[in-house]
Amino acid sequence: MINAIIKELEMRKAEFENETVATIYFGGGTPSVLTTDEIDEIINACYTHYTIEKDPEITLEANPDDLSIAKIEELANSKINRLSIGVQSFFNQDLKLMNRAHNAKEAVESLTLSRKRFPNSSLDLIYGIPEMSNARWEENIDKALALNTPHISAYALTVEPKTALENFIKKGIVPPVNDEVAQEHHKILVQKMEAAGYENYEFSNFAKPGYYSKNNTAYWQGKIYIGIGPSAHSYDGKRRAWNVSNNPKYIKAITSGELPQEIETLSQTDQYNEYVMTRLRTQYGVSLQEIGTSFGLKFKDYFIKHSQKHIEEHLLFVKDDRVYVTKKGKFLSDGIASDLFILNLK
């Protein structure tokens, strides 16, 4: 797999021949199972085939149960300079419900230890968990803030098919996910994070000044990126591509000198819809001038016309030719965006 990933990096270098790489992100499955030598081998391949800026952000996703003292020291001696730790909750009952391998004690220990070697780090939390009270959610946030992690991502729980949680819900062991509860949890989240000095630069992401994730920011600003490895997605502004998800098929194709990917060319309407969806989720908002310049006056007029009802309902507001989501509208931002999508513009 490592050899195939390195080979794919080489095969696709022409896609970025005029670009400078600002961020390298090890995500997806559990990349923390890689050794330092394997991580550095992949990073060195990036430096060999791509132009990398002077101080790139190089993030590794990790689970708390992987982050022993020895593992953290090992990672600190690699080129990784940022960790994103999948805590999800500081309560064992939540972790058990989500079928997580770590426990609450390991979550706290991994964050405490990693902060000493990785000042630039992030943790993930999940809200809207069945039977999670507002008080327990507030305590989760308080525990995260007490650890002084500079970046916190928080996501509403989604029930994936064929998981233990879906089975529990179907059998009536656990109540179904409640959108109203999730919305209340998000409201609490925004209030507490802002009070603690964090900036909500994107719907699910909160950071202290100077600690925005370059990777997340680039994605939500529509920057181009290359995804390497099985299931990885890529985007060049006009096309989306995704690799086959089957590991043996991926390795076999790459070894044979073929890219095992499917490609979708985005129409102008697709590009507009994507622009609206991504920008509305951020603190930067939607630029009316940019819509007009990039897509044309028809698209701009359409957006202005269809955003009026959301402005009247205080879900959107306009400032300096930009349209932003209000605090009231934040949790509904994806629904608002879909209402502004164009299906067939004549």
Whether the pTM exceeds 0.75: the reply is yes
> So what's the pLDDT on residue 170?
79
Query: Rounded CA gap, 2 and 39, in Å?
Result: 9
Q: Say how many C-beta atoms besides its own lie within 10 A of residue 8's C-beta.
A: 23
pLDDT band at 29 (very low <50, low <70, confident <90, very high): confident
Instruction: Categorize the per-residue pLDDT at 345 as very low, low, confident or very high, splitting at 50, 70 and 90.
Output: low
What is the pLDDT confidence band of residue 346, given thresholds at 50, 70 and 90?
low
For position 172, what pLDDT does the model report? Answer: 79
pLDDT in tens, 201-244: 999 999 999 999 999 999 999 999 999 999 999 999 999 999 99
Sign of the torsion formed by the C-alpha atoms of 334, 319, 209 and 16: positive
Instruction: State the Cα–Cα distance between residues 298 and 302, nearest whole angstrom.
Output: 6
User: 268-340 — its CATH code?
Assistant: 1.10.10.920
Q: Where are the alpha helices (DSSP H) in the chain?
A: 2-11, 36-49, 69-76, 92-97, 104-117, 134-146, 164-170, 179-195, 214-220, 247-255, 268-280, 288-295, 297-312, 333-340
Average pLDDT on 177-190 reads: 91
Q: Which CATH architecture has domain 20-215?
A: 2-Layer Sandwich (3.30)
pLDDT given for residue 217 in this prediction: 93
Mean confidence (pLDDT) of the chain = 93
Question: Residue 179 contacts by C-beta under 8 Å, 6 or more apart in sequence?
Answer: 128
User: How many beta carbons lie within 10 A of that of residue 3, not counting itself?
Assistant: 11
The residue extents of the domains of the chain are 20-215, 268-340
CA 109 to mean position of chain CA atoms: 24
Return the residue matching tokens 């500081």.
90
Q: What digits encode the pLDDT tens for the residues 76-134?
A: 999 999 999 999 999 999 898 888 889 999 999 999 999 999 999 999 999 998 889 99
Q: Is-contact 88 145, C-beta < 8 A?
A: no
- Model confidence over 266-280: pLDDT tens digits? 999 999 999 999 999
